[in-house]
Chain A
Amino acid sequence: MNRLKLNYLKIVIETSEGEFGTDIPFKDGFNILRAKNTKGKSSTLNAILYALGIEEMLGGKNSKTMKPVLKDKLIFENKEVNVLESKVQLEITNDSGDVITLTRWIKSTSMDEKLIRVHFGAILSKKEAFNFKDYYVHLKGSASESAGFHAFLSTFVKWKLPNVPSFEGKDKLLYIQTLFPLFFVEQFKGWSGFYTSISGSYGIRDLPKRAFEFLLDMDITKNTKEREALKIFNALILNRWSSLKQNLESLADTVNGKVVGHSEKPNLIEELNLFVYDDNNKLIHIIDRIFQLEKDIKDKESYNIVSISNVSEKYEKEIIEQEDYVLQLQNELNSLRQDINLEKDNLRSMRENLRYLAIDLKRNQEAEKLYKLGSNIDSNIKNGTCPTCNQDISDTLLPPETLVEPLDLGENIVFIKEQKSTLEFGIKESERIIKTKQTKQAVLDQNIQNARKELRILKRELNENPALPTQKELEKLVELKISFNRLNEASQSFEKIEENFKDIKKDWKNYLTRKDALPEDYFSALDLKKLTFFEKQFLELLESFNYSSIENIDEITISKDKYTPIVSGFDIKFDSSASDNIRLIWSYIISIYRTSQRYNGNHPGFILFDEPGQQQMAADSQEQLFKSLSKFEGQSLVGTSLEPSEIKAMTKGLQVNIIDLGENYIIKPLL
């Protein structure tokens, strides 16, 4: 059985001249609707689309897609007749044998063109009365709401239309209209490609592919959807995971702890644990540490606290000792300071001397040079003799009576240098001594400060209430309580995080299970089988229709990307030979049906070709088409303007229902 079968089409036009229209009963299997060109054949076939609310395929919505003959004027016996009211009625059957009759008005004063009346019975073929219900098309919700005609129609045809990815990012329903181009080839646009996109693509991504996949009931649609859903799910989990990690780490930081068991990516095995350091700087579990602290606090609070009255005597003694000690340190420090100052004075004077010595040395060295120079000019200088009397004189300006015997310049220089090096040594020593003493002074300063602090504490404690615990003990207790509270808080936050962790683990498991269920490759095994079968059918049909644009038909394959035929990686050009293009479409449309039939797909089991004999199609090719259509298990309908004799010749020996509407206008007075 087929999902959709046409039983009867009726067009009714009320005019001032009476009722006009046409009655067309269809049969199962192969039907040929024959009429002379321009006599209304296409109008009639398009009326089928109108009745189904699929007139968008004709490039618009509602009655404007219908020819004037159905809504304005018709010509009868060379006379223009005004159309007052018109409607189209279509009786269809589904695969359960349910029959309904659709009525849609084209021109009416009382009935909305967006309304389709459904009679739950065969009112055309059996002329009986049935209940009816009105449905709507081209309104929001007409594909999904219960009063929407397309929602009703898809239920009737038993199509579970999927939600598919749209350009807006949100999923959209694969509208019923979008499937029709794959089995309903109308005359004007239908022969221009494998899939004639109908006014707009409803914002659905890769619409022709989705329609193809649906008719073949391929897994890919839902797999793609699942894959995309999983991708989002995965991103969501990872996001939650990383924020959990961050929370964990900052929590661990607040307690100087360490988290064990959170890896970079979520996994199912690991457990979370928060460790902190105990008194011995060893890592232990936070809960254990809390228990430890609790016990410590209890111990201290109950009995172990040393109170002042217990220690006052001891403190008094200690204070005296401490005071002595401070005094002693102070004395030491004072004498040390004195030493340092003395040494600094010493150093200063030595440095000054050194500077004078340096000047002295320089001058002596200059003098030495001078004497050398002078001796070139006056020999008295070298010899140390008097320039007047040539007696020896000492080299000095001091009066001779002083009897001073000066050193030679050379000796003098050596003497100064020795002095200098002695002084330099002294300076170094002095610097070293100062440094050592200053270091000692710093240590002493520190010691004195500590000793004084201790003394202050001792004195203060003695001033306090004797029953109070000592400050030392109190401080320790407060410290314990603070860290206890802090760890407790941390532990509570940790528990929350742990809950969250379990949630994420659950989701992760769910994710992994779903991912496992998906086929690893893009196509499932069954999908591949379907595509292979489709390809085989397609090539067989092409050959039988005498396709000749490509010599070796085996070179043609079906693209796994677009589901359309390709030759060595490129789409088959539609301009190669016009009649071969038509053969491609014939083959394509029929192959879809055959594949769906074979694998129990969603094809309605109904095919319509309006004027398949396009582009001076060779008669024998058309004969082959008729032949394959006559073997068709479903219902097929071909509209043609061939002469009755030609049809007869072409369909010789074939199972066919020829509906010849004669040589005149199809629309004629109804009897």
Chain B
Amino acid sequence: MDLPIDYIKEIRFSKKKVPLSPELRPFYRISQIILVLHLSSTKETASLLKLQLFNWGLQNTRRFDRLLKLKETNDFPLIRFDPFLNRALNYGVAMDLFTLNKNTRKFSLTVKGRELALQLLRESIFTEEKTFLLQIKKGLSDTYLIGLFKERYRT
């Protein structure tokens, strides 16, 4: 394509803001983490593996079933370890919504985090996600998941 470059004296670029999927917004992801910790984790505490698994599961409603039937199938899904989740966890820790136990490498809700969790439960947000998490309850423990994961990827 021929551009009339010779006649152009100056070209200015201005940065345009881009639309962004809500999943890529920090607080959206933080809220999901809080819900997982509050509704589906013993002592509101979960390992990174569990959070990554649930993060994968919450991406779309079709994945809900895989997790709901995990205990029957023992088929640990092939998940993507999402760097965005890690970033969201960092933000959340920084905002003092949950803490990372240095020894167990597990995340737990703080009081502030629990307060937010209770507010999220009251609002009509994440209705499908909340239903799903309440259904699965605290059935998938870290121990079970880590065992299953190791079984699957043992080579």
- A contact set with B: CB distance below 8 Å: 360, 363-364, 366-367, 369-371, 373-374, 376-378, 380-381, 386-388, 395-399, 403-409, 411-412, 415-416
Contacts and interface: CB of A to CB of B under 8 A. Distances in A.
Contacts of A388: 94
A407 B125 contact: no
Contacts of A367: 22, 25, 27-28
A373 B94 CA distance: 18
Q: Looking at chain A's contact residues, is the secondary structure mostly helix, strand, loop, or mixed?
A: helix
Chain B interface size band reads 20 to 34
A412 B95 contact: no
A374 B27 contact: yes
20 contacts: A363-B28, A366-B125, A367-B25, A369-B125, A370-B28, A373-B120, A377-B119, A378-B95, A378-B96, A380-B95, A381-B95, A395-B27, A396-B25, A397-B87, A397-B88, A405-B15, A407-B18, A412-B19, A412-B20, A416-B19
A374 B116 contact: yes
Interface of B: 15-31, 83-84, 87-88, 91, 94-97, 112, 115-116, 119-120, 123, 125-126
Contacts of B119: 373, 376-377
Nearest to A361: B22
Given A373-B120, A381-B27, A386 B17 contact: no
B20 A363 contact: no
Contacts of A376: 119
A372 to B, nearest CB: 10
Contacts of B84: 397-398
B24 A407 contact: no
Given A370-B28, A377-B116, A363 B94 contact: no
Contacts of A405: 15-18
Nearest to B122: A373
Contacts of B125: 366, 369-370, 373
Contact of A363 (B23, B95, B96): B23
A647 B95 CA distance: 156
A376 to B, nearest CB: 8
B112 A406 contact: no
A406 B26 CA distance: 12
Q: Looking at chain B's contact residues, is the secondary structure mostly helix, strand, loop, or mixed?
A: helix
A398 B87 CA distance: 8
Given A370-B27, A374-B27, A412-B22, 13 more contacts: A367-B25, A369-B125, A370-B28, A373-B116, A377-B97, A378-B97, A380-B95, A387-B95, A395-B25, A395-B27, A403-B15, A407-B20, A409-B25
Given A374-B31, A387-B95, A366 B22 contact: yes
Nearest to A386: B94
A364 B28 CA distance: 9
A89 to B, nearest CB: 129
Contact of B26 (A369, A396, A407): A396
A370 B28 CA distance: 7
Which 4 A-B pairs give the minimum distances between C-beta atoms?
A406-B20, A367-B22, A397-B84, A387-B94
A634 to B, nearest CB: 123
A398 B17 contact: no
A377 B110 CA distance: 12
B17 A407 contact: yes
Residue among B15, B23, B97, B125 with max Cβ neighbours from chain A (10 Å): B125
B26 A395 contact: yes
A565 B10 CA distance: 141
Contacts of A366: 22, 28, 125-126
A297 B110 CA distance: 107
Contact of A373 (B17, B21, B23, B123): B123
A387 B120 contact: no
A369 B27 CA distance: 11
Contacts of A415: 19
A377 B16 CA distance: 30
Nearest to A381: B27
A397 B25 contact: yes
Contacts of B16: 405
